[in-house]
């Protein structure tokens, strides 16, 4: 099993949107996947509940206290992938997620504030990489970029200074992300042929090829 943690201690960068759509993307690609909600606010669990009892979504399990991560293997048994929706602002939960993750995806919006805020998480990631002899892999994902602007290119140049890879995949600021989430759905279901769905499919494929 591969554990992907979607982490950023800053709120509002699109972690839950990425985690929910990514999980559904893996499922539609034929993968056995489970979503772990580590946010005490339970946003991913609310998303699942909004879909209703007979939904076809992957299972969502809440683990919003660090000790719960010790039971991750028993909860995820039988799955090929586990996606952790990280919690904003709680370093203890970020550290707990890093300890069980194989890969860390760090969403960052095209904003100088987001770039600066990523520094503390990058330090935690690099400390964990030292302990694991580099087994933990981490990369940035440009999130919620505004289509048709130069900001995406500028943020990529700024992020290079942190010394972590930057995914070619990205997500954009599109209304369908919020609208589908409110219905307990994803962009892959709401507009399967749309640009947002293609963004998620591209992200899924890049993660599957991540070594």
Residue 114 backbone zone (phi > 0: left; psi -120 to 50: alpha; other: beta): alpha
| Per-residue pLDDT reduced to its tens digit, 124-173 | 999 999 999 889 999 999 999 887 676 667 888 889 889 999 999 999 99
| Per-residue pLDDT reduced to its tens digit, 167-194 | 999 999 999 999 999 999 999 999 999 9
Question: What is the CATH topology of the domain spanning 2-208?
Answer: Rossmann fold (3.40.50)
The whole-model pTM stands at 0.93
Please list the alpha-helical segments (H only) found in 33-182. Answer: 43-50, 72-75, 91-100, 112-131, 151-159, 175-182
| Per-residue pLDDT reduced to its tens digit, 48-83 | 999 998 899 999 999 888 887 888 988 999 999 999
Distance CA 35, CA 6 (A): 11
């Amino acid at each position: 099993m591969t554990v992907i943690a979607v982490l950023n201690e800053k709120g509002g960068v699109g972690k839950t949107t990425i985690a929910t759509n990514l999980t559904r993307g893996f499922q539609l690609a034929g993968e056995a996947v489970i979503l772990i909600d580590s946010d005490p606010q339970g946003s991913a669990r609310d998303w699942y509940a909004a879909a209703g009892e007979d939904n076809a979504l992957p299972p969502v399990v809440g683990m919003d206290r660090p000790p719960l991560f010790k039971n991750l293997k028993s909860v995820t048994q039988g799955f090929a992938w586990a996606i952790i929706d990280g919690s904003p602002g709680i370093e203890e939960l970020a550290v707990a997620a890093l300890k069980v993750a194989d890969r860390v995806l760090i969403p960052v919006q095209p904003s100088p504030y987001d770039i600066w805020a990523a520094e503390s998480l990058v330090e935690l990631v690099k400390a964990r990489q030292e302990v694991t002899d580099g087994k933990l892999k981490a990369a940035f994902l440009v999130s919620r970029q505004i289509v048709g602007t130069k900001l995406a290119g500028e943020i990529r140049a700024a992020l290079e200074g942190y010394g972590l890879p930057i995914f070619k995949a990205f997500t954009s600021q599109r209304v369908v992300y919020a609208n589908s989430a409110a219905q307990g759905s994803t962009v892959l279901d709401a507009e399967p042929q749309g640009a947002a769905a293609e963004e998620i499919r591209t992200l899924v494929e890049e993660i599957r090829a991540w070594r």
